[in-house]
Amino acid sequence: MTLEQIFYSLIIIGILLLAGKIIRRKYRIFQKLFIPASIIAGFLGLLLGGQVLGNIAGMFIKEEHWIKHGLFPEQILQVWSGLPGLLISAVFAALFIGKTIPSIKTIWHKAGPMVAHGQTLAWGQYVLGISLALLLFSPVWNLSPLSGALIEISFEGGHGTAAGLADTFRELGFADGADLALALATVGVVMGTLLGIVLINWGVRSGRIDPPGKTSHEDMEEMAEHDEREIQSQDTDKFSAMTEPLSLHLALIGLAIGLGWVMHQGLMFVENLALGDREFELMRHVPLFPLAMIGGVLLQIFLDQVDYSKYIERKLINRVSGAALDILIVAALATLSLKAIGQNIIPFTILAAAGIAWNLMGFLVLAPIMFPKDWFARGIGNFGQCMGMTVIGLLLMRIVDPDNRTGAMESFGYKQLLFEPVVGGGLFTAASLPLIYQFGPFPVLIFVSVMTLGWLIFGLVYFRPGKNEGERDN
């Protein structure tokens, strides 16, 4: 692999992204489903590769021909396969840089019910997935117990997390898991949008919510094209008048990744020191990106303390992380293994159906009894996020409450500060695979069941309607 091959690989991704953007603008179906141009570009790369175009060409061309390998040389595909594991660290490192990080008390006061409901849905995805792996996937299809983590990694974590964990899947002997996770994430995005619109129409017709306001489709489109992490910013226009060089913001993201790497190395050293020669390796299999996110939090706290955060342009940070996420998604989807999905089509279908059913139950059954008020607007946000993309949750809330009269969008933004460091791509999401590998699925199932019940009971008792007046006052 040479620098020239890497250079051309990135150029081709740029061309695919441009083509994806054109297709998205030309065919309204993609806009109505809020499918990002990066996902279209990724599948376009997959179609033009050896797995689709190459195989089709092979049906008609018997002699050896370059088209039978698709439009992309093997060296390009090798570069693409390595990009997600690197770029995901940049995406997560940028998550909190340039944002004011409030106290936990403030976050809890504004977003406590959102946190409890979201955590219940996330941990419940593990309970459902690991139970299926123990009772069905492993004994019937001889599928790795690691398949139990696929629902949370794909639906709650999304494309970025699924792609970022590809190396971990391969290291732990379940390489097909990365392809299944990416495909499940795509199902989550599409079904999250479709089911969200259906639920909103049902809510209007049944009188549970007022008819949506006059938010234009163009406004919704503009939001959909923003980086999904944008919604966590509490004051996006705070430094709009400032102009800071791109190099400074890239350096801050690099510094956050560096802090994460130092923490990762330190944790591996402590683990090795504590356990000696025992055959136990957890931190080595935990990827860098959740620690890079913590590095970003620590860096932002330091910048706030020295009064330097005023020089950071959050929108520029979002553009950097958004570009990294776009390239990551294109590279991951273009190298997706269709063979792996075809060989596991029945477990894949069961995982998708089970994950969707759990998320629907979490909205229709749990949301009305876990939110003190405005359960539909708040619950639909968590539903959209737990189906695969944070931006889908925000878009659905925007349809239900375009003027933010309920304050749901603010609560949704605050919620991420106590949510994403743990699940949805956080520390436990990254550690779930090595934990299942080291301890087996049953102990992990017990732990995630306790966490699910704990958050559920806490939410039902502490935030039940009429109980928490603090939430009502926001």
pLDDT at position 234 is 41
For 296, 297, 312, 380, the CA distances from 248, given in Å and listed in that order, are: 14, 17, 9, 37
List pLDDT tens digits, range 207-228.
Answer: 877 765 544 444 545 544 444 4
Tokens of 6: 């890497």
pLDDT value for 212: 58
Return the domain boundaries, the chain.
100-209+225-243+313-467
Model confidence pLDDT, tens digit, residues 441-472: 999 999 999 999 999 999 998 876 655 444 44
The alpha carbon of 197 is separated from its chain's Cα centroid by a whole number of angstroms, namely 21
The pLDDT value given to residue 473: 43
Neighbouring CB atoms inside 10 A of 222's CB total 10
**Contacts (Cβ under 8 Å, ≥6 apart) of 370:** 113, 116, 117, 120, 456, 459, 460, 463, 464
First to last CA, the chain: 55
Give me the tens of pLDDT residue by residue for the chain, a chain 474 residues long: 678 888 999 999 999 999 999 999 999 888 777 678 888 998 899 899 888 888 888 787 777 777 777 888 888 988 988 888 788 888 888 888 888 777 778 778 778 899 999 999 999 999 999 999 999 999 999 999 999 999 999 998 888 888 888 889 999 999 999 999 999 988 888 888 889 888 988 988 888 777 655 444 445 455 444 444 444 444 434 444 444 578 888 999 999 999 999 998 998 888 888 776 666 667 777 778 788 888 998 999 999 888 888 888 888 888 888 888 889 888 888 888 888 888 899 999 999 999 999 999 999 999 999 988 889 989 998 998 898 767 678 778 877 887 778 878 778 877 877 887 888 888 899 899 999 998 999 999 999 999 999 999 999 988 766 554 444 444
Both tokens of 133, joined, read 């792996």
pLDDT at 470: 42
The model's pTM is 0.79
Per-residue pLDDT at 127: 97
147-173 exposure pattern, b = at least 16 Cβ within 10 A, e = fewer:
bbbbbbbbbbbbbbbbbbbbbbbebbe
Q: What is the pLDDT of residue 331?
A: 87
